[in-house]
Amino acid sequence: MKRTRCPALYKEYHLDRGDERVDLFRKLVRKYGIRSALYPGSFVHIAPSFVIPRTVHVDSFREAKTFFADSNTLAYIVQRKEYDEEPHIGFYGSDYNDPFGEEPESFDLLISSYAGFVSPPCKRYLRLGGLLVANDSHGDASMAFLDPDFELIAVANRRGEKFTISETELERYFIPKRAVTVTPQLLRETGKGVAYTKRASSYIFRKIA
Ligand SMILES: C[S@@+](CC[C@H](N)C(=O)[O-])C[C@H]1O[C@@H](n2cnc3c(N)ncnc32)[C@H](O)[C@@H]1O
């Protein structure tokens, strides 16, 4: 079978940097039975599509639009996929704060990774009982921790390209190092999260309301 070349932007930003993070999504699929994911602010990070059959990306950056319009991108996903069915890949070249054409409560997983405050506007697309996986690079994991619609259920830690999910000792996370009251307003002002006594690579929340 003819090999599909890796799309140039994915190669540059993820493959060559050893920053695909496929194993994070593989572990989430295995542990929680994820079948669909919404990825606002994905840029060209298509790794979730290697293990999740239905993924929808939202990114306003023009290069992302060109990337997802290229048939080679889908061909590469087909080559890398670890499930039997054909992949369904959606893309909206818009601001994730604005409505886009997906049904409310229609995804198993919402991904928030280095792309600002994804969870407040996009949680409406996550089904009740669905999961948010967020890092705290821009403070979105902290935002979700304050949000009564979410409950912290696990953390993921990284060693190279391998990830471990842990559901224990969750009370040790989100304890600020300094005496500050963490509020949504503070998080929006700083846009980079808070220094905590214990950190994880990513945090996993369940939508409970
Ligand atoms: C640093 S990249 C992160 C890429 C990827 N999530 C990752 O983990 O490697 C941030 C991306 O978020 C997108 N982004 C940020 N705010 C956005 C918004 N409000 N609507 C749509 N895309 C947004 C940017 O266009 C950019 O492509």
Buried b (16+ CB within 10 A) or exposed e, 137-162: bbbbbbbbbebebbebbbbbebeeee
Closest ligand 1 atom to residue 43 Cα is 27
If you measure from the C-alpha of residue 195 to the centroid of ligand 1, how many angstroms do you get, rounded to a whole number?
23
Q: Which atom of ligand 1 is nearest to the CA of 94?
A: 21
Q: Which domains does the chain have, with CATH numbers?
A: 8-169+200-207 (3.40.50.150)
Task: Give me the helices (H) in the chain, please.
Answer: 8-10, 22-32, 62-69, 71-80, 119-122, 140-146, 184-190
Q: Which helix (H) or strand (E) holds 130?
A: strand 126-134
pLDDT tens track for 189-206:
999 989 999 999 999 999
pLDDT tens by residue, 26-41: 999 999 999 999 999 9
Range 67-75 average pLDDT: 98
The number of beta carbons lying within 10 Å of the beta carbon of residue 108 is: 20
pLDDT of residue 89: 98
Work out which ligand 1 atom sits closest to the CA atom of 14. 9
Ligand 1 environment, Cβ below 6 A: 41-43, 45, 58-61, 64, 95-97, 113-116
Please tell me the distance between residue 40's alpha carbon and the centre of ligand 1 in angstroms: 7
Condensed to tens digits (0 to 9), the pLDDT of residues 118-137 reads 999 999 999 999 999 999 99
Mean pLDDT of the chain: 97
Q: Whose CA is nearest to atom 20 of ligand 1?
A: 95
Return the C-alpha torsion angle 129, 132, 133, 136, nearest 10: -140
